[in-house]
Amino acid sequence: MKRTLSVIIFAILATYSASAQNIGEVFLTMPESIVFGLDAAAKEKLMLNPKDTAEVVVERGEFGEVRRLALSADFVSLRTSEAGATQIKLLPLVNDSKIICVVKTVCAKVCDSRVQFYTTKWIPIPQGDLFPKKDKGWFIKPDVDRDSQDFQNACAALDMNPISIRLSPDDTSLEAEYDIKDYLGTDDYNKIEPYLTGVPKKFVWDKSSYK
């Protein structure tokens, strides 16, 4: 039933996602809510010379500058402020159409990311099963006894789960990293550290969701 529902949803999405097939096309029609202050000329400049690895910088007046950090046929990475970054990736669907994945990351003491999906006409798509709900369990060693008192005590200081997400520029995978070392005090981090895998969690896109 769940698989059937996904097929129906993607069939509907194909109607709205068939027109744009590269990152330049979708970026030029991107609404201001994704990256504030970019006019048409600024968007065009950010999409120029994709093989040029040098950073491209555009000014946005009161919003400050935007730096293009990476660009390919299906991916762009932007530094939108000292604390903010936006990554945009075109993802293929089972029906040969595409959807857009946007990852916005804000860094203060720690970094935390938010994932959102859109059709190629920038109609928001509910996250649903496209990407799992963020969970600190991704970063806990599989052999840990999560019901043990020691583990529960070590987790007591975790009142939030800052997770930084990076889309791959080379394929459709992404990595999630648990950014808590600078969030917790030294003593609290030392308690939880033995239970952590210490490596990012990788998710692979299977043309219907990240798994």
pLDDT at residue number 54: 75
Residue 211 lies in a domain: no
Residue 209 lies in a domain: no
Residue 97 lies in a domain: yes
Distance CA 48, CA 95 (A): 30
pLDDT at residue number 87: 98
pLDDT, tens digit, for every residue of 108-136? 889 999 999 999 999 999 988 999 999 99
Residue 118 lies in a domain: yes
Average pLDDT taken over every residue of the chain: 89
- The rounded percent of the chain whose pLDDT value lies above 90 is 77
Residue 109 lies in a domain: yes
Q: Which residue matches tokens 């099963």?
A: 129
Measured over the CA atoms of residue 150, residue 153, residue 158 and residue 159, the dihedral's sign is positive
Mean pLDDT of 131-142: 94
How does DSSP assign the chain, residue by residue?
Answer: -HHHHHHHHHHHHHHHHSS--SHHHHHHT--TTTSTT--HHHHHHHTS-TT--S-EEEE-GGG-EEEEEEEETTEEEEE-SSSEEEEEEEEE-TTS-EEEEEEEEEESSSEEEEEEEEETT--EE--TTTSPPP-GGGGB-TT--TTSHHHHHHHTT-S---EEEEE-SSSS-EEEEE--TTTS-HHHHHHHGGGB--SPEEE-B-SS-B-
pLDDT at residue number 20: 61
Residue 28 lies in a domain: yes
For residue 88, the enclosing domain spans 2-203
Domain tally, the chain = 1
Distance CA 73, CA 21 (A): 9
Query: Residue 202: how many CB atoms within 10 A of its CB?
Result: 12
Mean pLDDT of 139-154: 95
Beta bridge partners of residue 201, listed in sequence order: 176
Residue 9 pLDDT > 70, yes or no?
A: no
